[in-house]
A and B are shown apart, each in its own frame.
Chain A
């Protein structure tokens, strides 16, 4: 693998950096909302069962 970008490094690394950050952030955000929804539903179901 060749990581030498020469005079183009100021364009190539930001392009890869921004892509990596945005895709990672989207993945973490998606997983975070999934976990929150799961926890909220579990709490509601527990409360519903306790009432019954």
Chain B
């Protein structure tokens, strides 16, 4: 906890993030390039043919959509319980990125579903709960923009984020709890062939590092904007 509060100071955060950013950006490019190279070099799947290529962009997007929401929920908890000064900024900065990954997960999933299931969309538990995640993101961002008082907005959005976090385990376990068209988990259970697993893990790392890079830049931007507002009031 002490570590988190050490970097709550905007000056400390700017210093640390300035050091991490180049490595995160280079890591993103390397992981994505290598992941795409291995992915496009992989043989067609015996059942899905070349559509297996959509796996390498759909799963990372969907995983990040849920992961980013988890990060927002943790930041919200830090804000509500421990009044961590940077957590509100961090949570707000992450939301549009999480919404972007959710939209990408929905679009790539639909484009994968049509050749495999014969339909772009079906109201099964996984797809419906994932669509609900997009609405929670949109509601979260709308609530931030609807309130002028930042302290009140931070409190209200933190409560919304924590309530909405209930949806994350529902998305994750929906394929086990209900009979869904969407396939079950195949990475941890070892069902995925190594020739597909390696590019998938690289793409997941690439998406994760891209999020970290953009998230840090967005937090840095918010800190600068806050400083500019203070200066404008002082002038």
Contact = CB atoms under 8 A, between A and B. Distances in A.
A23 B214 CA distance: 10
Q: Which of B49, B115, B224 has the most CB of A within 10 A?
A: B224
B224 A44 contact: no
A15 B221 contact: no
B50 A8 contact: yes
B40 A22 contact: no
Interface string B49-65: 11101100110010000
Interface string A3-40: 11110100110111011001100110011011001101
A15 B232 CA distance: 45
B231 A48 contact: yes
Given A1-B41, A26-B97, A41 B227 contact: yes
- A: contact size bracket: 20 to 34
What secondary structure prevails in chain A residues at the interface with B?
Answer: helix
A38 B225 CA distance: 8
- B: contact size bracket: 35 or more
A8 B190 CA distance: 26
A12 B108 CA distance: 9
B235 A44 contact: yes
B152 interface: no
Given A19-B108, A37-B221, A51 B57 contact: no
A41 B231 contact: yes
A41 B14 CA distance: 15
Interface stretch (B99-107, B141-149, B161-169): B99-107
Nearest to B61: A19
Given A1-B41, A11-B114, A15-B107, A30 B61 contact: no
Nearest to A25: B100
A27 B214 contact: yes
A31 B217 contact: yes
A13 to B, nearest CB: 9
Identify the 9 closest CB pairs spanning chains A and B, nearest first: A37-B224, A15-B111, A1-B40, A44-B231, A15-B108, A41-B228, A11-B111, A34-B221, A37-B221
Interface of A: 1-6, 8, 11-12, 14-16, 18-19, 22-23, 26-27, 30-31, 33-34, 37-38, 40-41, 44-45, 47-48, 51
